[in-house]
Amino acid sequence: MAFSGTTVRYEARDHRAYITLNRPERLNAITAEMAREIAAAVEEANADDAVRVIVLQGEGRSFCSGYDLKVYAEEGTDHQGQVWDPIKDFRMMKSNTDHFFTLWRSAKPTIAKVQGHAVAGGSDIALSCDLVVMAEDARIGYMPARVWGCPTTAMWVYRLGAERAKRMLLTGDTIDGVQAKEWGLVIDAVPADELDDAVEALVDRMAGVPINQLVMQKMMINQAFDNMGLQSTQNMAILFDGITRHSPEGRWFVDFAREHGFGAAVRWRDTGRFIPDGGGPIPGPGDIAAMNGAHDTEAGR
């Protein structure tokens, strides 16, 4: 029986599988169910002898806006309590990360097709693919580096090198597809109306290669990353992600979201407003009104 999900759609044809994140009304924001369904769809594609290449895409105007902050912050289902259980938190986030990373561990090559946004946890998903093709006007970044997050796949440094990874994660900035290509973060960036054709041309070229060749070339390259300590780096990143969500600053962010709504919390974070060390008083209505230049991404973490 073919895979069938509620947050992910799956289709296989012409030696390729299409995995589509399918929560367009929430800009494909991540839930635990979506993480599990990504892994199930990757497993389905790998079990299909006719499939040679896997394409990961997002339905609607965004690839993925990150974890659903309305669920995890505003509604308080972020596993924060009076006492933080780091092992419970690690187990939860490692499970999600391992689900995302089935795209990297997949025997068959994976390509992410990014329109709109691949931000916060959505960048973790995109960068778990072997290749990423972006629309030139799409944005990628990990804004929760400013507060309440650490990228659990740790792929920024492996794709960009130390200095540019620091440039991204010490600011929480995003970059567009053009700059991402210039920096070598993604393989290509094309005008938005050419994105589908560009990905299909790449898939066509790869799908003509025998599956044994594709699998062995990918295994060899991935082994080099494992030799550089990818798994141990991920373990540290996952632990740090839990710490950032339970630090004084992390709790300040959650309290802010619960009082003013997740949209206001994200705008405060992303527009560069000062985030106090050790938390601090929750901003009042005047402070909220003073914010400007907000981004309409509804991005999570």
79 domain residue, yes or no: yes
Alpha carbon 244 to chain centroid, angstroms: 17
What is the per-residue pLDDT for 202? 98
Residue 106 clears pLDDT 80, i.e. is over it: yes
Q: Which amino acid is at 56?
A: L
**Do the domain assignments include residue 164?**
yes
Give a yes or no: residue 293 inside a domain: no
Residue 250 lies in a domain: no
Structure confidence by residue, pLDDT tens digits, 137-187: 999 999 999 999 999 999 999 999 999 999 999 999 999 999 999 999 999
Residue whose tokens read 């699998």 = 215
Residue 259, in any domain of the structure: no
- Distance (Å, rounded) from C-alpha 185 to C-alpha 173? 14
HSE of 285, CA atoms in CB hemisphere, 13 A: 0
Q: Is pLDDT at 200 greater than 50 in this prediction?
A: yes
DSSP sequence for 192-223: GGGHHHHHHHHHHHHHTS-HHHHHHHHHHHHH
Q: How far apart are CA 88 and CA 97, in angstroms?
A: 14
Please state, for a pLDDT cut of 70, what percent of the chain lies above it.
90
Full domain range(s) for residue 105: 8-242
User: Under a CB-based contact definition with an 8 Å cutoff, are residues 7 and 19 in contact?
Assistant: no
- What are 268-297's pLDDT values in tens digits? 999 888 988 887 787 776 666 666 444 444
pLDDT (average), residues 36-48: 98
Query: Domain with 56 in it: what CATH number?
Result: 3.90.226.10
Please tell me whether the overall predicted TM-score, pTM, comes out greater than 0.85 for this model. Answer: yes
CB 54 within 8 A of CB 42: yes
**Does residue 283 lie within any of the structural domains?**
no
Q: In what order do the strands lie in the sheet with 117-119?
A: 117-119, 139-141, 174-176
Return the pLDDT at 292: 44
Residue 286 placed within a domain: no
Residue 223, domain member (yes or no):
yes
State the total domains in the chain.
Answer: 1
